[in-house]
Amino acid sequence: MSVNRQLAGYFEQIASLMEITGANAFKVSANRKVVRVLEDLDRDIADVATSGELESLDGIGKGTAARISQFLETGTIDDLEHLRSEIPDGLIGLLDISGLGPKTVGRLWREADVTDRQSLKAAIDDGRLASLPRMGAKTIANIADSLAFAQRASQRTPIGRALPLAEQLVSQLKTVPGVTRVHYAGSLRRGCETIGDIDLIAVTTDPTGLVDTFTNRPDVAKVLAKGDTKAAIRLTSDIQVDLRIVPEDVLGATLLYFTGSKEHNVLLRERARSMHMRLNEYGLFPDDGDDEPPQQRGIAPLASATEDDIYSALELPMQPCSLRESADDPLVAPPALIELNDIRSELHSHTTASDGHLTIDELINATRDRGLGIIAITDHSVSSVQANGLSVDRLHTHIAAIHDARDRHPDMLILAGSEVDIHADGRLDYDDDVLRELDIVVASPHASLKQASDLATERLLKAIEHPLVHIIGHPTGRMIGRRPGLDPNMPVLLEAAAANGTALEINANPRRLDLRDVHVRQAMAAGCRIAINTDAHTGDHLAFLRYGVLTARRGRVTPDACVNCLPPDALLTWLAQKSPLLSS
């Protein structure tokens, strides 16, 4: 169904670009409607087109059908290309800045000659923005703040973009003649939330052929380096990719070196030196005191084929990639980290009752298809107006509908829950009587995400200590590269969460990854329970789980600490009693 999603993305762009150009609001919203139709469609749009049924879909008229057909045939849409050509590229990039919607961006362009981040900064600095009608000082301060944040973050690519791209590169390069192995390394292999560049390592009998294929890809914007056994490119999507080709028998050493982190490499080299050995990207060698690199003198390595071989020759425990950061000690045996297969439940998800795209049954089916046996349906609460949050009456109807679904899906454990808004002062959005009717309560901050640190601490502390709250959803509300979110006193919150048995969520959406890795690590040290949820609004969102698991692994999460790994009975027991983890 990824064609549907890709096409939906194109129509979203059409709508945004039209809005920037100041197009008629009716036309803009017609395109937004197409986005929704595509996202909700339970068939492949290509099949619909083949059977000539495009125009029978609600919201799709003749013009839209023609655009869809053109996309399916050619991969592009003329109208979209035309819109793109009318608008400066840099202007489109402004849409990534929090607080800047297409309407405002259009105004900035027409009324203040803003065309990119740089000219936006200039317009703020020279007071041009302040002179525009209906542009208050507070709005401008917010834009300036978001712009500065985005500038700092823009050099790095979120893992949600980098990982699928790297996987695609790996599988394509594997089909090049002579190639036997391709791996990604670097920060991506360590599961970092953002990636500076993608590092690939390959084994092939024809290095020249591989370098040529790599540098001649159609999506290359610039070839940065090209040699016999290595190359670097910048893709049109602005991501840099490094490729190194090595002989099979040193793959382990190269993989170890280029996976890093730099700090981990330094520690391993020191370890080697202390044992009278030398470690580099070609292997672990005996240290004979000669300055010239041992591989150039024909000296055979003590270990080089696999990472395992090298760790064991250094008499170290094998460290998983996620635990190779500066804060990790290579001497310490790693815990048995959580894996994707350990997860049994999704405990934070949305349906069409609030702002999700799936019905209750569709969500249950999608969860089952992912191999999970437990689903908690947690639509938004009343104050989340923009997310169509449920009034108490609507919640009652929804709970009944969720309970009804149990008869139709006897193989699944289905929980009726809510994602209850945590107000700025820590009060919850429903009264306790209402919360008591739910099987599970996820409490999350959604608004007032710029409040002072001490207020944020008090706010979250109240929710953590609330006896009816099971999980704190996306605890800080940060969005990677878009907004920093709350900055509470973490040690205070973690201690309270551990004592109350309240789980802290790692929201697996790659734009959130909240809690973040360093906080997860502190939470594990404090004895907290952890939840890993996708916050699914569509069926595809359930695939975000792997990003949550990667973040959990970086935070040393073990299956016994994660409530999503509990089997049905144990989960129900925890939900009923909210017991803390036994400190072992």
Q: By CB under 6 A, name the binding residues for ligand DGT.
A: 186-187, 192, 195-197, 199, 257-258, 260-262, 265-266
Angle between helices 25-40 and 62-74 (to 10 degrees): 60
Least spacing, CB of residue 442 vs Zn ion, in Å: 7
The Cα–Cα gap between 93 and 179 comes to 37
Per rule CB under 5 A, count of chain residues that contact Zn ion: 2
Q: Which does 262 bind (CB under 5 to 8 A by kind): Zn ion, ligand DGT, Ca ion, none?
A: ligand DGT
Q: Pull the structure tokens for residue 472.
A: 């704190």
Q: Which does 184 bind (CB under 5 to 8 A by kind): Ca ion, ligand DGT, Zn ion, none?
A: none
Least spacing, CB of residue 265 vs ligand DGT, in Å: 4
Cβ proximity to ligand DGT: between 239 and 374 the closer is 239
Cβ proximity to Zn ion: between 322 and 502 the closer is 502
The Cα–Cα gap between 232 and 488 comes to 41
Q: What mask of x and - would describe binding to Ca ion in positions 194 to 213, judged by CB under 5 A?
A: ---x-x--------------
Q: What mask of x and - would describe binding to Ca ion in positions 278 to 317, judged by CB under 5 A?
A: ----------------------------------------
Cβ proximity to Ca ion: between 242 and 514 the closer is 242
Cβ proximity to Zn ion: between 242 and 419 the closer is 419
Cβ proximity to ligand DGT: between 259 and 345 the closer is 259
Angle between helices 2-20 and 102-112 (to 10 degrees): 40
**Of 22-30, 191-199, 507-515, 536-544, which part binds Ca ion (CB under 5 A)?**
191-199
CA angle 352, 367, 160 (to 5 degrees): 85
Cβ proximity to Ca ion: between 16 and 187 the closer is 187
Q: Which does 309 bind (CB under 5 to 8 A by kind): ligand DGT, Zn ion, Ca ion, none?
A: none
Least spacing, CB of residue 258 vs ligand DGT, in Å: 4
- One DSSP character per residue, 259-301 reads H--HHHHHHHHHHHHHTTEEEETTEEEE--S-SS-GGGGTPPP
Contacts of 394 (CB under 8 A, 6+ apart): 353
Least spacing, CB of residue 196 vs ligand DGT, in Å: 2
Query: 380 to 419, contacts with Zn ion by CB under 5 A?
Result: 419
Sheet-wide strand order for 345-346: 345-346, 374-380, 413-421, 440-444, 471-472, 503-507, 530-533
Q: Which does 419 bind (CB under 5 to 8 A by kind): Zn ion, Ca ion, ligand DGT, none?
A: Zn ion
CB neighbours of residue 78 within 10 Å: 12
Counting contacts by CB under 5 A, is residue 193 touching Ca ion? no
Cα of 173 vs its chain's centroid, Å: 25
Nearest residue (beta carbon) to ligand DGT: 260
Pair 530, 563: CB distance under 8 Å:
yes
Least spacing, CB of residue 183 vs Ca ion, in Å: 13
Q: Which does 261 bind (CB under 5 to 8 A by kind): Zn ion, ligand DGT, Ca ion, none?
A: ligand DGT
> In DSSP terms, which residues pair with 303 in a beta bridge?
284
Cβ proximity to ligand DGT: between 258 and 547 the closer is 258
Angle between helices 62-74 and 2-20 (to 10 degrees): 120
Cβ proximity to ligand DGT: between 221 and 266 the closer is 266
**Closest of 521, 520, 532, 516 to residue 564, by C-alpha:** 532
The Cα–Cα gap between 302 and 294 comes to 11
Q: Which does 535 bind (CB under 5 to 8 A by kind): Zn ion, ligand DGT, Ca ion, none?
A: Zn ion
Q: Which does 266 bind (CB under 5 to 8 A by kind): Zn ion, ligand DGT, Ca ion, none?
A: ligand DGT
Least spacing, CB of residue 338 vs ligand DGT, in Å: 23
Nearest residue (beta carbon) to Ca ion: 186
Q: Pull the structure tokens for residue 390.
A: 């449920």
Pair 420, 428: CB distance under 8 Å:
yes
Residue given tokens 């790297």 in the structure block:
166
**Closest of 504, 541, 530, 534 to residue 347, by C-alpha:** 534
Query: 228 to 257, contacts with Ca ion by CB under 5 A?
Result: 242
Q: Pull the structure tokens for residue 481.
A: 């590269």
Give the Å distances, CA to CA, from 401 to 123, 382, 398. 52, 18, 5
The Cα–Cα gap between 509 and 410 comes to 29
Q: Which does 260 bind (CB under 5 to 8 A by kind): Ca ion, ligand DGT, Zn ion, none?
A: ligand DGT
Least spacing, CB of residue 257 vs ligand DGT, in Å: 6
Least spacing, CB of residue 423 vs Zn ion, in Å: 16
The Cα–Cα gap between 419 and 409 comes to 23
CA contacts within 13 A on the Cβ side of 424:
7
- DSSP 3-state of 200: strand
Cβ proximity to ligand DGT: between 283 and 559 the closer is 283
Least spacing, CB of residue 583 vs Zn ion, in Å: 31
Cβ proximity to Ca ion: between 199 and 307 the closer is 199
Cβ proximity to Ca ion: between 258 and 430 the closer is 258
Per rule CB under 5 A, count of chain residues that contact Ca ion: 5
2, burial (CB in 10 Å: exposed 0-12, middle 13-18, buried 19+): exposed
Residue from 344, 535, 541, 575 in contact with Zn ion (CB under 5 A): 535
Cβ proximity to Zn ion: between 324 and 466 the closer is 466
CA contacts within 13 A on the Cβ side of 102:
18
Q: Which residues form the interface with Zn ion (CB under 5 A)? A: 419, 535
Q: Which residues form the interface with Ca ion (CB under 5 A)? A: 186-187, 197, 199, 242
